[in-house]
Amino acid sequence: MNARSHEIVGDLSGLPENAHGHTHLVWWGNIGFMLIEGTAFALAAGAYLYLQTQAPAWPPPGSPLPRLLWSGIFTVTLLASELPNLWVRRRAVAKDERAVRIGLVLMTALGVILLGMRWFELQHLGLRWDVNAYGSVLWMLMVLHTSHVVTDLGDTAVQAVWLCTHEVGDEQFSDVEDNANYWSFVVLAWLPIYLLLYWSPRLT
């Protein structure tokens, strides 16, 4: 047997068992996922802008602009959700078990409310997805963002149930932090889409 096969080349016993933020491998995976999803948003927005350059008028004649009421309510509520979201993130870093449980239940309720608002928003877009290219790309961007709201709501709800029925450890606190970071991405990703879909046609 090769004597070097049992040679100790390093001692990892001094490393912490858990980590937060950029020292955690999952944090980097979450960042990579957000970059991929951000690229998908950029490509979809690029498709919208390309179609706009190919049309004599945008939106095409007979295509109403999406209404502002429910989109404005949704956007304001989405931005306001960042306040409890950031609070939950700080409580997770501080390993405050009770506050994290309360915060996740609150964020789950906010997610359900936002989905209800998004439903009304979709009902007031003013046209179907299959009417023309404008309708198709409008619905594509809306559904794309809605899918991210649904994804994060599902993640948050599962975390809330788990943390309210199980003992909370360091890994769970780290998971809550990562989930809060992703919700911030969902919030920030909506802002350029909102400006592109609702305000850009009104200002050109």
User: What pLDDT is stored for residue 23 in this prediction?
Assistant: 66
pLDDT at residue 130 is higher than 80: yes
Cα(151)–Cα(190) distance, integer angstroms = 15
User: What pLDDT is stored for residue 3 in this prediction?
Assistant: 53
The per-residue pLDDT for range 27-74, each reduced to its tens digit, is: 788 788 899 999 999 999 999 999 999 999 999 998 999 999 999 999
User: What pLDDT is stored for residue 17 in this prediction?
Assistant: 57
pLDDT at residue 201 is higher than 60: yes
Mean pLDDT for the chain overall: 90
Among the listed residues 179, 173, 172, 177, the one whose alpha carbon sits nearest the alpha carbon of residue 154: 179
pLDDT at residue 160 is higher than 80: yes
Is 189 within 8 Å of 145 (Cβ atoms)?
A: yes
* Region 131-149 average pLDDT: 96
